[in-house]
Structure 1
């Protein structure tokens, strides 16, 4: 085969790639100075600590191909070929050096890079020879193996790789590649396949909720009681599961309610109290209080009490360990380090019953010689073996001592087969709740869910009972949206810093939104021509009027729409500001900002179309009139948001007769 000639742009790119890798390998501090660069698996747990609630406590970056990519260790995986592997390692380390983050986003970049690695198989896996077509092929491969949401995120990771190559000149020519996949969101569509799939996968069914309510009165085993108590807390507020599992043992907060007029008192002059649970936000680690709705306070109190009752023995052990550093707690009298035990006594101390075989197996797995019939094990060796396992759960980046965790338990407390060891500790983790709600099949057998333990009947569609802990968060957010709770309150209640993320947890259907509108119209919380016509009807006819004109509804980017798409198509597609079916939610910041952007864009267009009109361009006058109508519509909508006499949350239907005015000085500078 003829030797391939390397062009000057390629040689230059190769030199820059070598410098790029060398700088990351020898000059970056990310992941520590003792990082084993040549290994295909980087253990970055120390630098990317996992939340204590996560079952997998080790954070490992695998620079491997898709082959056997689900393996839980490096065994069986296939390492990426050089020089591509070094390029990705350098990218990851430099990215972590400039902006430290968890291992999740970094693993996602490696996952996306695997498809590029496959594309370079016929070119020596040389990243310098990557082309725009390779990224296009990689994104197609991503779509085939991933859900739409995951594919979008992996597409963003591919764009990160392409941007890095262009920024540092690591290819023979610029790639200028952008992620072609659109972000999957529930913010606007209520009738798309994605919205329907999200609704079905992220919301619990009424059958499961009813069955959980029944089983909550039947569970008696301590492990089931603790897990069911966590489920009760998930009913009380929209938690992330890690936030519940990381609660402090002294998390309850009771204080007097305060409103804009000061402290609140009831009719008898007694202070009105509110109840909440102090927690740490999982995504920011900031402390906050999750206030519990009044109707759920008793449920939350009883759940906390049940958890405390079953976990207090574990906290007592943790306090003893903290008061006696370097020691492990063994039952019975302490006769010194040379006190000895038989294998049967060891087994009984660790909850396995007086079985010498079980004791021998436990000791041998920990490197303690237990061969021989009459062998005796020293207390010193036993304590050292226990100490080696205690430190695995002692680290908490929030600064909590082990004894301060609410969901602390003895080792194997939640295990379906192994005996609970009263001398060792563990934390209740997300996998325990996942097993409790959905069961699990592994190489060791099947872990039964609570529904399987009690032989719950199948759901109405014939599927087995089961759900995930995160579905409670979606469910409560959707209920809050259905009840018309202010968006800022929904975000605060959910522990969410970005109010725009509310839409991802809002799974109301068009019919449910319309039902909310009908209730608001009945309560006089809608203004406009439609509301005026409703109020002129006889009281007996108003309900049927609401049902007919508000059969369904959906969300737009600037407000809401009450057009019945089932019976007719949209007459003003993408021109909501001039449509008679448009409803504006006063005080909705997201809709207000998007309307401001539309207004600024149309004013920019108006100047340019006016120039075309002055030049007598054919059709320019019609275009000018359409833009002016859009500007008028945007100004009417913004006038609604400005009006101090309209309460926030009111739905207003602007018309051509509605007031409009300039939305204040400096708009062009703020948009």
Structure 2
């Protein structure tokens, strides 16, 4: 493997010299390893092997090709020197920022449009002008969807900046697309936007009910190559995701025995948290408590999934132990067509096509095929996944035979390909996507089993939509934001807002009902108690127009009407502050804030005894805040004596 160097930014005034210098530096640096520079398609799997997940693509390739003219495969190669410039710039962006293969692919896609727009100039990068980029952008808007066009245009602007920075054009471009605007689907809601009843990211209840019906009706299938067996595997995966809210990658990398039992008898799901750039290098294993109403269903689905994938898991285990397939089988040194079908378990009689597709050499002897054993074992190795599902040391990574979601090669194709029972592969995110939403040439499970909505349209659901659906149910049931954030394994509470689909009116109506039912404390609750129920409902509906989670409680101040005079002082006797009584989810945060207020009051009293200057206003503020926090904790049976013990315990833990 060539040594990895650095690509400098130094560029001369002559754009031709700058181009040659940049290309030479990129070739010398080899950021993608030993790729063939002149090849139209680069296999960059080695550069990403530390972060490649088994549920993703098996090989990562960067095609430096033109737009394809057919619906399959790749287009014609982009000729040099245009392709050399794009390859060099891809090397630069990978070395400096470590971009993903997907990001590089979008960058190359943007370059394809620029290449097509420079046809009149002979595809000369040095003669590129702003008009050429405008024409390329116009083609993007005509051919791409709104969100895709926005991303491609962004990378096209990056390409123009890179050409300027390395002085690869005769004139400076300084180009920005005038038609570029962020799509509405990527823009958060703003004040004044038209309210939406249901987000597109939230699957309909009809789709969820249909999945439940499919779970009850799809049979296991009699054999591995039965198409219903593939559907059964995928409906089990979908069922577990609906009940647990796992991301697709977290679901497909579950260990073979993911459920553990705590000392109190509760069930937890052990999973690898896969989100963010940090997880490309390190994986953290987490325990997610199962919801009590879903425990029985999840345990049954996991047990059945483990059973129907046991055969593929055995194949993966043997391959992992011996490093090759068919280990332990008695195979003659030379095989004919009949032998191959018997050894590999093939049903198709077109053995020649099978061998050609795997580049396995064979001879024709007496009008029959003859293949060597070593050549056969080497050729069929391409059908098996030999790498880890999650890279990492023992206990951190995950091998294929240790995974719950493992299948025979081609098993998920549902009859379009022969199931290869001698090789095993992980279930991929594309398999799940095709199962739920379908694509060209592959109907979704809802279409194939004739499930439609009340409007007669086909049902659809995205795998990440299950996470939205479960989060929406928890939010609708009144689960605090902190509970939602922790249970779904998020680092930041602000991220939870993207998964909450209750409108402002629905959230306000929920708080009104909680106040009427006596579950909410605060000054407004005391006022409502003194009124007849119907009068109280009218009063609360008019009074509560907005709800904000402020940590220890809720704020009902409507900031669109006026600013709050007690901003950031919610627990200091604010009229707009309310809280859920006996809210155990917020107990730790309440104890922490009460402890801070208690220690601050103690410090003020010490200073007062030493006759230091003490401001009465600050003391009253601390006392008001402390009394409010202890009032909330009292609903949970936690009093000042408990707080003192809590402080002593925290002090011992710190030591």
TM-score (norm 1): 0.68
Alignment pair present for 1:426 and 2:429 = no
For 2:284, which of 258, 273, 287 is the aligned residue? 287
Alignment pair present for 1:507 and 2:501 = yes
For 1:537, which of 528, 531, 538 is the aligned residue? 531
3-state secondary structure, aligned to 2:262: strand
Shift of 1:452: 3.8
8 Å contact from structure 1 (residues 438, 468) kept in 2 = yes
State the match for 2:62 in structure 1: 61
State the match for 2:598 in structure 1: none
3-state secondary structure, aligned to 1:422: strand
8 Å contact from structure 2 (residues 130, 175) kept in 1 = yes
State the match for 1:367 in structure 2: 361
For 1:460, which of 454, 463, 470 is the aligned residue? 454
State the match for 1:494 in structure 2: 488
For 1:275, which of 248, 268, 273 is the aligned residue? 268
Alignment pair present for 1:28 and 2:21 = no
Question: CA separation in 2, counterparts of 1:230 and 1:385?
Answer: 31
Shift of 1:416: 1.6
Alignment pair present for 1:239 and 2:237 = no
Q: Using a 3 Å threshold, how does the CA distance of structure 1 residues 411 and 22 change in structure 2: closer, same or farther?
A: closer
Matches within 5 A, 1:382-397: 382-390=376-384, 397=391
Q: Using a 3 Å threshold, how does the CA distance of structure 1 residues 562 and 242 change in structure 2: closer, same or farther?
A: same
Q: Using a 3 Å threshold, how does the CA distance of structure 1 residues 88 and 425 change in structure 2: closer, same or farther?
A: same
8 Å contact from structure 2 (residues 250, 274) kept in 1 = yes
Range that drifts further, 273-282 or 357-366: 357-366
Question: CA separation in 2, counterparts of 1:646 and 1:322?
Answer: 61
Alignment pair present for 1:478 and 2:465 = no
8 Å contact from structure 2 (residues 523, 578) kept in 1 = no
Alignment pair present for 1:318 and 2:312 = no
May I ask how many residue pairs the two structures share in their alignment?
547
State the match for 1:450 in structure 2: 445
Alignment pair present for 1:112 and 2:110 = yes
State the match for 2:204 in structure 1: 205
8 Å contact from structure 2 (residues 253, 272) kept in 1 = yes
Question: CA separation in 2, counterparts of 1:37 and 1:378?
Answer: 34
Q: Using a 3 Å threshold, how does the CA distance of structure 1 residues 190 and 487 change in structure 2: closer, same or farther?
A: farther
Shift of 1:60: 1.9
8 Å contact from structure 2 (residues 273, 489) kept in 1 = no
Alignment pair present for 1:48 and 2:48 = yes
Shift of 1:216: 0.9
> Where does the alignment leave 5 or more consecutive residues of structure 2 unmatched?
1-10, 222-228, 568-574, 580-620, 633-655
Matches within 5 A, 1:108-187: 108-123=106-121, 125-127=123-125, 142-165=140-163, 167-168=165-166, 172-173=171-172, 175=174, 177=176, 181-182=181-182, 184=184, 185=186, 187=188
Question: CA separation in 2, counterparts of 1:351 and 1:235?
Answer: 36
**CA shift digits 1:437-483 (9 cap, x unpaired):** 234443xxxx4443344333x21111123322222122223333334
8 Å contact from structure 2 (residues 314, 401) kept in 1 = yes
Question: CA separation in 2, counterparts of 1:376 and 1:165?
Answer: 55
Alignment pair present for 1:230 and 2:237 = yes
3-state secondary structure, aligned to 1:58: coil
Q: Using a 3 Å threshold, how does the CA distance of structure 1 residues 118 and 287 change in structure 2: closer, same or farther?
A: same
> Where does the alignment leave 5 or more consecutive residues of structure 1 unmatched?
1-9, 257-270, 564-569, 587-638, 651-671
Range that drifts further, 228-237 or 277-286: 277-286
State the match for 1:14 in structure 2: 15
Shift of 1:309: 0.7
**CA shift digits 1:368-421 (9 cap, x unpaired):** 346646766665554444334335666753443332122122223223214433
8 Å contact from structure 1 (residues 71, 77) kept in 2 = no
8 Å contact from structure 1 (residues 64, 78) kept in 2 = yes
TM-score (norm 2): 0.70
Shift of 1:512: 2.9
Shift of 1:128: 5.5
RMSD over equivalenced CA pairs, Å: 4.4
**CA shift digits 1:306-354 (9 cap, x unpaired):** 11111122222222233333452476xx2x643x66534532443445x
Q: Using a 3 Å threshold, how does the CA distance of structure 1 residues 317 and 370 change in structure 2: closer, same or farther?
A: farther
Alignment pair present for 1:435 and 2:434 = yes
For 1:101, which of 87, 99, 112 is the aligned residue? 99
8 Å contact from structure 2 (residues 346, 418) kept in 1 = yes
State the match for 1:214 in structure 2: 213
Q: Using a 3 Å threshold, how does the CA distance of structure 1 residues 154 and 364 change in structure 2: closer, same or farther?
A: closer
For 1:248, which of 242, 245, 255 is the aligned residue? 255
**CA shift digits 1:590-611 (9 cap, x unpaired):** xxxxxxxxxxxxxxxxxxxxxx
**CA shift digits 1:45-86 (9 cap, x unpaired):** 221347444463222223344x33785533x34627744x43
3-state secondary structure, aligned to 2:473: helix
Shift of 1:433: 1.8
3-state secondary structure, aligned to 2:46: coil
